[in-house]
Amino acid sequence: MSLRITPLNIVSAAGLGLVVLNLVSDKNTAPRHINLNGFYLLILACLIAVTFITDMIFRFTLKDIKKIWIVELIFIVIAAVLMLILQKLA
């Protein structure tokens, strides 16, 4: 089985790197400050799982690596635009 790097693999690796970086970094919080880092790490871990599962679905349905790259890049752009729109609405 050959190793095929896809855009969702890159996004998953970047997210995993952020999780590891946040876990090993210093935890300097001010007194009476509510620390939500654990909640954000949980959300990021869930997003990493979703991107991994989505990548596997795209790999099984599309066999051509060029089509996989195009579809996954479109998927990432649409997801980013939707996140920006939802952020502006909230």
Q: What is the mean pLDDT of residues 36-59?
A: 87
Residues 21-42: tens digit of each pLDDT: 877 876 766 666 656 577 888 8
| Banded pLDDT at 63 (limits 50, 70, 90) | confident
Q: Is residue 29 situated within a structural domain?
A: no
Q: What distance in Å separates the CA atoms of residue 59 and residue 68, rounded to the nearest whole number?
A: 7
What is the pLDDT at residue 32?
65
Domain that holds residue 77: 7-24+34-89
Q: What is the mean pLDDT of residues 47-64?
A: 91
Q: What distance in Å separates the CA atoms of residue 4 and residue 25, rounded to the nearest whole number?
A: 31
pTM assigned to the model: 0.76
Query: Could you give the number of structural domains in the chain?
Result: 1
Neighbours of 51 (CB within 10 A): 24
